[in-house]
Amino acid sequence: MDINNIKMVGVDKDTPLELREKVSFKDIGEALIKLKELGLEEVVILSTCHRSEIYFYSQKISTDEVKDFFINYFGLKEDFIKYLRQIYGLDAVEHIFRVACGLESMVVGEDQILSQVREAIDTAQTFNSSGKIFFKLFRDAVTLGKKARTDTGIKDLALSISYIAVKFVQEVFEDIKGKKAFVIGLGEMGQNAMKNLIDKGADVFVTNRTFSKAIQLKEQIPEIHVVPYEQKYLYIASSDIVISATNAPHYTISYEKFKEVYNGRKICMVDIALPRDIDPRIGQIEGVSLYTIDDLKKTAEENKKERLSLIPVIEKMVKEEVNKFEKWYKTLEIEPYIKEVSRYANEVCNTEFQRIVNKLTDVSEKDKENIKIALKRVANKMANKMIAYLKENAY
């Protein structure tokens, strides 16, 4: 069994966007079925906004044939072939491990790719296009991806301003589950902040000058509570968390109006707008913690540097897992011998047991069972010794 039968053909983040868009698999199930019809023994498709890759196992089908599939399936011109990357064997194994760890992502260590790798193998399982080899390969990749993020702590080094805003809030309250949060601004950063807060268990309230826009947003994010704009300051003053992310040219939270309604409760405010939304004097009020976008950007830059410093650590983990997978793969060649050793050991054990008990008289059933257990133990020890020898020499 040649490990070079593991192959990958595809494009990644380095391919121009206008070309990546053309090779995004809309119906992965249909594509898997068509690829299996080519004669591939196993096949998995990983399709994201940054990559479109076909991993396949075949002793007969070449990467050129899968390249042709790409061209024909998406109706592309022949010159697209120059963008298609092809790798084999341990290089392909290492590649999917690196992908799962986030080493091949736009943002090193990002989390989303891990769930996408998991979804890719789950879909292949659903359509019976993945067998023993790819099930092992992709499950190992997912496990490694989790381990790399947990052991290095890279998953905690956020780069998204909205995510970091919520992290700042967590540092103030430790646990924000059940906390009342008020988000100002319905743009991308504001919506991301809402989703991050909701994920952490906060109760999120929003408002907008145009009330209908807030209602429309609730259709997309049903967990939010929409409040009338004229009651904004009352809700802000009764909140634990306030995040503002508008594009207004002036303060959306003024010092004077806030001071009128503030009741002295502990509030964490995060201003991620530019120009600023929250009058900076509010941060001087006792009980109020105010962070600006500069605070968040500084953290983002520090996190970016630390993420990059962790690359060698994760790469070492990848190399170790590639070696483990190679050893496992080599044992596939001796599986028939391992099964034969186990079968023969079991046969000898049963034969000798029958020979012994047929010669013995007045032996209780308990004694017979003890004899069988002892013979089985001896047979297993000898079989395991032989199996260990086979595996050692397979490497």
Top-confidence residue, 391 or 370: 370
Token duo for residue 221: 């994010």
Known binding-site residue numbers for substrate: 48-51, 105, 110-112, 116
pLDDT at 296: 86
0.85 exceeded by the pTM?
no
Q: What is the mean pLDDT of residues 36-43?
A: 95
CA 107 – CA 158 distance, rounded (Å) = 10
Q: Are 198 and 204 in contact (CB under 8 A)?
A: yes
331-380 per-position pLDDT tens digit? 887 677 777 777 888 888 888 888 888 888 788 888 888 888 888 898 88
Known binding-site residue numbers: 48-51, 105, 110-112, 116, 185-190
- Of how many residues is the chain composed? 395
Catalytic residue among 49, 101, 268, 349: 49
Cβ neighbours of residue 277 closer than 8 Å, sequence gap 6 or more? 184, 185, 244, 245, 246, 248, 251, 252, 253, 271
CA 84 – CA 135 distance, rounded (Å) = 24
162-171, 236-245, 324-333, range with greatest mean pLDDT:
236-245
Q: How confident is the model at residue 103 (pLDDT cuts 50, 70, 90)?
A: very high
Question: What residue has token string 């013995």?
Answer: 360
Residue 342 CA neighbour count, 13 Å, CB half: 8
203-222 per-position pLDDT tens digit? 999 988 888 999 999 999 99
**Res 45 pLDDT > 80:** yes
Q: What share of residues in the chain are helix, strand, coil (percent, to 5)?
A: 60, 15, 25
Average pLDDT, the chain: 90
Distances (CA, A) of 261 to 207, 231, 253, 267, 280: 18, 11, 12, 13, 17
DSSP string, 181-195: EEEE--SHHHHHHHH
Top-confidence residue, 259 or 393: 259
Token duo for residue 278: 């929250």
Q: Which of 61-65, 158-162, 216-220 has the lowest mean pLDDT?
A: 158-162
Q: Which of 68-77, 280-289, 384-393 has the lowest mean pLDDT?
A: 384-393
Question: What residue has token string 């075949």?
Answer: 58
CA 142 – CA 135 distance, rounded (Å) = 11
How many Å is the maximal CA-CA distance in the chain? 103
Strand 85-88 to strand 288-292: parallel, antiparallel, or no bridges (unpaired)? unpaired
Instruction: Respond yes or no: is residue 349 known to be catalytic.
Output: no
Q: Are 152 and 211 in contact (CB under 8 A)?
A: no
Top-confidence residue, 263 or 106: 263
Distances (CA, A) of 317 to 93, 97, 103, 158, 172: 13, 9, 12, 21, 34
**Res 30 pLDDT > 90:** yes
**Reduced to 3 states, what is the DSSP secondary structure of residue 224?**
coil
Q: Are 20 and 106 in contact (CB under 8 A)?
A: no
pLDDT at 249: 86
Nearest-10 Cα torsion for 250, 255, 257, 261? 140
pLDDT at 55: 98
CA 332 – CA 219 distance, rounded (Å) = 52
Beta carbons within 10 angstroms of residue 279's beta carbon: 20
169, 180, 91, 105: which is closest to 137 by C-alpha?
91
**Res 394 pLDDT > 70:** no
Nearest-10 Cα torsion for 168, 173, 174, 177? -100
